[in-house]
A and B are shown apart, each in its own frame.
Chain A
Amino acid sequence: MKRITWLRLAGTVTWPSFLCAGLASVVFFATFDPRELGLAATFATPLSRMAGYTLGFLGFWAVAGLSSLLTAWLILGFSQVREDPLHED
């Protein structure tokens, strides 16, 4: 029985969430200017655009990554025996 490696789990979680975060960032920041968002925030912060894009992207990535991680957990569980759900040899 094949087990999924930690590396593979990390890849499965980080990479798709990275792609989704990229897409989300494009759509979101085409709609909103991060500099104005910074000023309109509850705790108004002067934010350079590059800072806004970067933090926004990392935020999207974190959220999407957390969701991926939960999904992975629900499917696999982090038990000691890690069967490969997709491929069996």
Chain B
Amino acid sequence: MTAKKTPQAAPSGGLYAKTEKIYPREVRGRFARMRTLAVFVLLGIYYLLPWVQWNGHQAVLFDLPARKFHIFALTFWPQDFFYLAMLLIIAALSLFFFTALAGRLWCGYACPQTVWTEVFLWMERLAEGKAAQRAKRDRGPWSREKLLRKVWKQAMWISFAAWTGFTFVGFFTPIRELGLHLVNFNPGPWEGFWIVFYGFATYGNAGYLREQVCKYMCPYARFQSAMFDRNTLIISYDEARGEPRGARRRGVEPASVGLGDCIACTKCVQVCPTGIDIRQGLQYECIACAACIDVCDDVMDKMGYPRGLIRYSTENAMEGKPSRVLRPRTFVYGALLLGLIGALITAVSLRVPLRLDVIPDRNALYQVVDATHVENVYTLRILNMDTRPHRFRITPEGLPGVRLVSDAETREVEAGGVLSVAARVRVDISALQGMRHDLEFRVESLDGSVSAEHETRFLMPVGGR
């Protein structure tokens, strides 16, 4: 894979062509406030949730070592994979719905990449000052001050990334114990690996890769345009109003100098975290953060022009055609979404926290007892997925005169426990013709709150009697 450097490849710095670093200018305004709010809400949930306790256990714990997911009062097992699949479908559909409605809302406000980049930018600002200062200092020679500022930034980045990695692993192994182990410098090797891995990924993605993740790596950024139509709200520059652009003094009436409303201050370009010019129209790099709207509104206010030269608008509206946010596409997505959410809630509330597996004994297919009865032996696995213990009664059903030969009437299974029971089922030899019969096991808690069934086969001697 070593590449030869040829004259052709040389001009922009060889194969290791460096991407121009972007220093997004800071911005204030409505959408910036919403983004900040989203950062606090989402990261607040992320960093605090693992510490919340519920009935003596971690409220949200995807306990991978124990293969159980605890979400407040609910406990999910691998057997409940169906619900997770449904949740993923709902998540995908929500993405479709919101994209059809208002473009890349996900990218601008909720994507972890955006959210963590925002925080890393704050830290960078804290240590190294505003965008212009940073760019100037980066170009300049190394000095004591530059070094100190860089060290200070790295210290903040690395500790924040490490805490992020720790929190991430805290969703999968109990965070309080993990914290204790960590204080003693003794996390498990795999836990340690994941803390470092996730921490490093955060550091690299939010600190360095930033907009390149969105531009070059993100699949959603590429296929989201398929969900756009002419009625999707997108961040648009009002070309008809803005052009021809040009500089002028404050308060000058645009028409009087033969210009549009755009004063060509390029602030919309300076604030853009992906370094594009929104005035060239919608581009795939745009993550819809709306920073350009905020900064342009600010400029329009100063000039005494109406706001909204750059605004959320639809393609239809920009062309002066009627534009409808409520349209078949949003209705269909919305209805599907509501239907699925309803189905998931119903399914979870109707979920029976009990599972029964029946494995017929493979060593002896059947056994004739006293020449009058036939016995089959099974292993029953009773999985109590409830949060409290239950006492169960096991009954075989579906065959005439069938009964269980057992030393215990009922069996106790602790909360979240699995019990294996050997069950001998006996049938009168004259009661059945043929070799193979269907048998159903039924397990019911004594209080009648949960029950489960499992069908299996019952084998008779060849040729009957």
Contact = CB atoms under 8 A, between A and B. Distances in A.
Contacts of A78: 1, 3
A49 B172 CA distance: 12
B193 interface: yes
A80 B217 contact: no
B219 interface: yes
Considering the complex of A and B, which 4 residue pairs feature the smallest CB-CB distances, nearest first?
Answer: A50-B190, A15-B217, A11-B217, A30-B81
Contact of A54 (B4, B194, B213, B219): B194
Interface string B5-36: 11011001001111100000000000000000
Interface in B164-220: 173, 188-191, 193-194, 209, 212-213, 216-219
B65 interface: yes
A16 B217 contact: yes
Contacts of B67: 33, 49
A54 B17 CA distance: 34
Contacts of A71: none
A5 interface: yes
Given A12-B217, A15-B218, A50-B188, 19 more contacts: A3-B9, A3-B12, A3-B15, A5-B15, A5-B16, A6-B15, A8-B19, A15-B217, A30-B81, A33-B78, A48-B188, A50-B64, A50-B65, A78-B3, A79-B3, A80-B4, A80-B5, A81-B8, A82-B9
A50 to B, nearest CB: 4
Interface string A1-32: 00101111001100110010000001001110
B84 interface: yes
B190 A31 contact: no
B15 A16 contact: no
B216 A82 contact: no
Contacts of A51: 189-190
A80 B173 CA distance: 47
Interface of A: 3, 5-8, 11-12, 15-16, 19, 26, 29-31, 33, 48-51, 53-54, 78-82
Contacts, number: 72
SS class, residues of chain B in contact with chain A: loop
B34 to A, nearest CB: 27
Contacts of B218: 15
Contact of B212 (A3, A7, A30, A81): A7
A44 B17 CA distance: 48
A31 B156 CA distance: 41
B6 A48 contact: no
Contacts of A49: 64-65, 67
Given A33-B67, A54-B190, A80-B6, A8 B12 contact: no
B194 A11 contact: no
A18 to B, nearest CB: 9
B191 A50 contact: yes
A24 B218 CA distance: 18
Contacts of A80: 3-6, 8-9, 15
A5 B9 CA distance: 11
B216 to A, nearest CB: 5
Interface string B43-76: 0000000000000000000001101000000000
Contacts of B213: 11, 15
